Structure 1
Amino acid sequence: MAKRRAVGNLMALAVLSALVQQPMHPYQMASVLKEHGKDRNMKIKWGSLYTVVQNLEKHGLVEATDTVRQGARPERTVYTITEAGRAELVDWVRELISTPEPEQSRFTAGLSVMAVLSPGEAAELLAQRLTVLERELADKRAALTEAAREVPRLFLVEEEYELAVAGAETAFVRGLLGELTSGEFPGLADWQAFSETGKVPPELAELMERGLHPQ
Structure 2
Amino acid sequence: MKRRKVGNLLALAILATLHERSMHPYEMASILKARGKDRDMGIKWGSFYTVVGNLEKHGFIEAVESNRDGARPERTVYGITGAGRDEMLDWVRELLAELAPEQPKFVAGLSVMPWLGPDEVISLFRSRLAALDEEIASTRAELTRLLVELPRLVLLEAEYDLAIRTAEAAWVRSILEELTSGSMPGLAEWRTFRETGERSAEVAELAERGSTRT
Matching residue of 2:149:
150
Report Cα offsets for 1:97-154 as digits up to 9, x if no partner.
0011111111111111111111111111111111111111111111111111111111
Q: 1:210 Cα deviation (Å)? A: 3.9
Amino acid across the alignment from 1:71: G
The DSSP-based 3-state class of the residue aligned with 2:149 is coil
Work out the CA distance in 1 between the residues paired with 2:182 and 2:5: 53
Q: Quote the residue 1:127 is aligned against.
A: 126
Look up the match of 1:204. Answer: 203
In the TM superposition, what is the alpha-carbon distance from 1:8 to its structure 2 partner? 3.2
Letter in 1 for 2:80: I
Q: Deviations over 1:52-99 (max 9, x none)?
A: 111111111111010111111011011010111111110000000001
The two structures have a TM-score, normalised by structure 2, of: 0.94
Stretches of 4+ aligned residues off by more than 2 angstroms? 3-8, 206-215
* Counterpart position of 2:112: 113
* Counterpart Cα distance in 1 of 2:210 and 2:41: 34
The aligned amino acid for 1:166 is R
Residues 1:116 and 1:158: Cα distance change in structure 2 (over 3 Å): same
Q: In the aligned structure 2, how far is the partner of 1:165 from the partner of 1:205?
A: 33
Aligned to 1:192: 191
Q: Give the residue type in structure 1 aligned to 2:117.
A: S
Q: Does 1:94 align with 2:113?
A: no
Question: 2 CA distance for matches of 1:211 and 1:10?
Answer: 32
Q: Which amino acid aligns with 1:70?
A: D
2:44 alignment counterpart: 45
Distance 1:136 1:179 in 2: 24
Cα distance, 1:6 vs structure 2? 8.4
Cα distance in structure 1, aligned partners of 2:5 and 2:167 = 35
CA distance in structure 1 between the partners assigned to 2:7 and 2:208 by the alignment? 39
CA RMSD of aligned residues (A): 1.7
Alignment size in residue pairs: 213
- Structure 1 residue 7 displacement after superposition: 8.2
Identity %: 59
Structure 1's unaligned 5+ residue stretches are: none
